[in-house]
Amino acid sequence: MPTALICGVSGQDGAYLAQLLLSKGYKVYGTSRDAQVSTFRNLVRLGIRDRIDTCSMSLNDFRSVLQVISKVQPDEIYNLAGQTSVGLSFELPVETMESITLGTLNLLEAIRFIGAPIKLYNAGSSECFGDTGTDAADENTPFRPRSPYAVAKAAAFWQVANYREAYNLFTCSGILFNHESPLRPRRFVTQKIVAAACEIAQGKPGKLQLGNISIQRDWGWAPEYAEAMYLMLQQDKPDDFVIATGETNSLESFVVEVFSYVGLDWQKHVEINTNFFRPTDIAVSCGNANKAKEKLGWLAKYHMKDIAQMMVDAL
């Protein structure tokens, strides 16, 4: 029975990944800063909470990381922890940088220190690419990060690449484009839209306030992206992969799809609030996942319209 340690198991990606690994016969451990008080709400929602051993770990504390890895003795580590909100990173740039870069470095150094053949998956981000215009970004597209979150993710990506090359560790990063699901918290705009549309359709008064709805994103389905993470660690050699659908839609299109699905005219219920505009927002984001298709056999099955409808159905 292989053993996996998921850092950030309580989040959307961590929960779906845990579910996937359990289905493949893994012994799964998950971490949070304080496992004794964490509700692990997403694990409960997926019905797998009692099948996962949880432990407290502070990724910013090397001793804490070393102790947990030594105790668990995992075959695979999935680093999905750290501050995950692009918008919040503008308000908490130091916290964002430390939780992502220092946390990743501590994991890498702990694996090197222990000397066991542990494979590490690191959660990269399409935000690292910045604004690529109409060009779909692949593994050779240069990074031009435009947020504190993206800067931190870019630094972590190069840390992982450096440990792979300098110390011959099995480390890889998945450069994932936007991926959504019913497990998204409401502070993410897609879930905010879905929740508001459903409430308005049920008769709740009020308007949905949004920022820049002209931005375009490549939206995928989170459970599929969890599968891509797993596949990366099953390869003979470690490598980095872009994970995306290759399809780009505007946020306005997502709004239209959600509201029309619940039988509403979005224009009667949505207001634009400039306070929600970010200092440096990416206009267009699109990914080219051909390498993942060729080497991992991975291809996105669900696209924006499917995702919008599935998120509505889940509420």
Does residue 121 carry a catalytic annotation? no
Q: Which helix (H) or strand (E) holds 95?
A: helix 93-97
Tokens, residue 10? 């309580």
Q: Which of 89, 125, 173, 181 is catalytic?
A: 125
Contact status, residue 258 vs residue 193, Cβ threshold 8 Å: yes
Residues contacting 257, CB < 8 A, separation 6+: 304, 305, 308, 309
Q: Which of 16, 76, 78, 127 is catalytic?
A: 127
Mind giving me the DSSP string for 80-109? --S---HHHHTT-HHHHHIIIIIHHHHHHH
Does residue 149 carry a catalytic annotation? yes
The type of residue at 175 is I
Cα gap 124→297, rounded to integer Å: 20
Contact status, residue 198 vs residue 315, Cβ threshold 8 Å: yes
Cα gap 289→293, rounded to integer Å: 6
Q: Which of 26, 78, 121, 149 is catalytic?
A: 149
Active-site positions read 125, 127, 149
